[in-house]
């Protein structure tokens, strides 16, 4: 029996006691939820790759103002069930959780992105947690990053991050629509910023090594989706306690490059670091 669910499909079936006991044992050992264990085992049995990042376009292209959508949400879903990005003309922030893609817009609303929506930049993976921890008493974003640093065993491998909890305070931004060719710093000067207290939600994102800064945003990059689906965007700051953190180490990258005239003719030899730092941080 199968019924539709907001995050995919709900399947009701019976399993043997041996399988159920094995699932519970793994949950106790790794800290994963029952749902995550079943998803990962099924994905492995069906030869769906985990620990592979699929990325569309590059951070440098985004800095240079290449905002035209080049891949649809439907195609993104073929490559993963978890991730983030933005939409055609830099129209808002994208959050992908459990196979569903959400679109946060500059007016503060959040909606499910239709399969025909397009994205100029996206990163996705089939998320399978390899390590789970609880973080307490996080005072700000820098504190969170320092705690997450302790989970990384290398500065040279990508990491996927999923954080759930009740945020005492959270601040995020949503990019506003921008015309093709408007550089990212200029485009995000008019971004919408929001701040809320006592917000339950999930953060999804990635840590990217410094050497890959021309491909993806180096360091941490996290997007929020609240549990009530009323709030979402690019994380700027937060505080709280009892954050449930799951991470996975991504050792394989597949990069899909746009074939548009704008991308083919763009100067991608620049170092995007300074521009990304201005565009991705809170306006002080």
- pLDDT (average), residues 82-94: 96
Q: Which tens digits make up the pLDDT trace of 144-164? A: 999 999 999 899 999 999 999
Q: Are residues 137 and 19 in the same domain?
A: no
pLDDT beyond 90 at 282: no
Same domain assignment for residues 115 and 31: no
Tell whether 61 and 154 lie within a shared domain. Answer: yes
On whether the CB atoms of residues 191 and 175 are closer than 8 A, the answer is: yes
Q: Please give the residue range of the domain that contains residue 33.
A: 2-45
Residues 9 and 91 in one domain: no
- 156 and 119 assigned to the same domain: yes
Instruction: Give the contacts of 197 (CB within 8 A, at least 6 positions apart).
Output: 168, 169
Q: How many Å apart are CA 179 and CA 65, to the nearest integer? A: 8
Q: Are residues 197 and 104 in the same domain?
A: yes
CA-wise closest residue to 256 among 64, 124, 63: 124
Q: What is the percent of the chain where pLDDT is above 70?
A: 93
The number of angstroms, rounded, from the C-alpha of 31 to the middle of its chain's C-alpha atoms is 21
> Taking all residues of the chain, what is their mean pLDDT, rounded to a whole number?
90
Q: How many Å is the maximal CA-CA distance in the chain?
A: 60
* 229-265: pLDDT as tens digits: 999 999 999 999 999 999 999 988 999 999 999 999 9
Q: 107 and 12 share a domain?
A: no
**Number of domains comprising the chain:** 2
The reported pTM is 0.82
Q: In angstroms, rounded to a whole number, what is the distance separating the alpha carbons of residues 244 and 126?
A: 19
């Amino acid at each position: 029996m199968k019924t539709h669910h907001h995050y995919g499909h709900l399947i009701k079936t019976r399993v043997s006691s041996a399988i159920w006991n094995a699932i519970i044992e793994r949950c106790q050992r790794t800290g994963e939820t029952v749902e995550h264990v079943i998803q990962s085992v099924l994905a492995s049995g069906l030869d769906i790759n985990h620990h592979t990042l699929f990325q569309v376009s590059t951070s440098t292209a985004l800095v240079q103002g290449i905002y035209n959508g080049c891949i649809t949400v439907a195609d993104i879903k073929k490559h993963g069930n978890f991730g983030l990005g933005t939409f055609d003309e830099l129209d808002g922030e994208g959050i992908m959780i459990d196979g569903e893609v959400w679109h946060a817009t500059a007016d503060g609303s959040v909606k499910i992105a239709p399969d025909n929506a397009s994205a100029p930049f996206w990163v996705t993976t089939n998320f399978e947690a390899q390590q789970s921890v609880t973080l307490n008493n996080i005072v700000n974003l820098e504190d969170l990053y320092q705690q997450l640093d302790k989970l990384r065993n290398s500065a040279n491998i990508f990491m996927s991050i999923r954080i759930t909890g009740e945020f005492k305070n959270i601040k995020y931004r949503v990019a506003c629509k921008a015309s093709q060719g408007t550089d990212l710093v200029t485009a995000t000067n008019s971004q919408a910023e929001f701040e809320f207290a006592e917000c339950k939600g999930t953060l999804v994102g990635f840590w990217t090594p410094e050497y890959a800064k021309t491909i993806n945003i180096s360091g941490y990059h996290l997007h929020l989706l609240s549990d009530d689906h009323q709030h979402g965007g690019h994380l700027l700051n937060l505080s709280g306690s009892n954050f449930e953190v799951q991470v996975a180490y991504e050792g394989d990258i597949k990069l899909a490059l746009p074939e548009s005239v704008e991308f083919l003719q763009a100067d991608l030899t620049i170092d995007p670091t300074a521009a990304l730092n201005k565009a991705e941080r809170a306006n002080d």
